Amino acid sequence: MKEQEYKSLPATFSKSERLKRDKRIKELFQKGSSFLYPLLIKYMESPVPEGVNQILFSVSKKNFKRAVDRNLLRRRMFEAYRRHKHTLTSLPDQENFLLIAYIYVGKEKATYQLIERQLIAALKRLNDVKSAKT
């Protein structure tokens, strides 16, 4: 997908962008690289037949016992990614795409603005990693 086509996509989160397959998730957690904020970001390049980056959002049940709190943080991460996913560019002749897991590991609930700032920084770092490999 060409870069200008990717930027013209609506800011939605389609079914093909969700990381759902157990095999891919296990591979990501076993072989993937990571970096840490209150968000732990695990990522790896992989050939994805869907032709898009695939994303997983998670919040630890150990740190947040109530499902309401976990869902709130997950929705905040999801919304921040959805609004800024266009910054994660894809190269025109790219065969491999990123598998990414955003895992909230902080102890207290963060505001949307804090999560958004950290997610933007993470997307920029992923862009740097992606462009360094090509």
- Confidence tier at 111 by pLDDT (50, 70, 90): very high
Query: For the chain, what is the mean pLDDT?
Result: 82
φ, ψ for residue 106 (rounded to 5)? -65, 160
Beta strands per DSSP E along the chain = 33-36, 39-47, 54-59, 96-104
Choice among 58-62, 88-92, 93-97, 101-105 with the minimum mean pLDDT:
88-92
pTM of the model: 0.81
Taken in order of first residue, the domains within the chain and their CATH numbers are: 3-133 (3.30.230.10)
Instruction: Give every strand in the sheet of 54-59, ordered side by side.
Output: 33-36, 39-47, 96-104, 54-59
- Confidence tier at 50 by pLDDT (50, 70, 90): confident
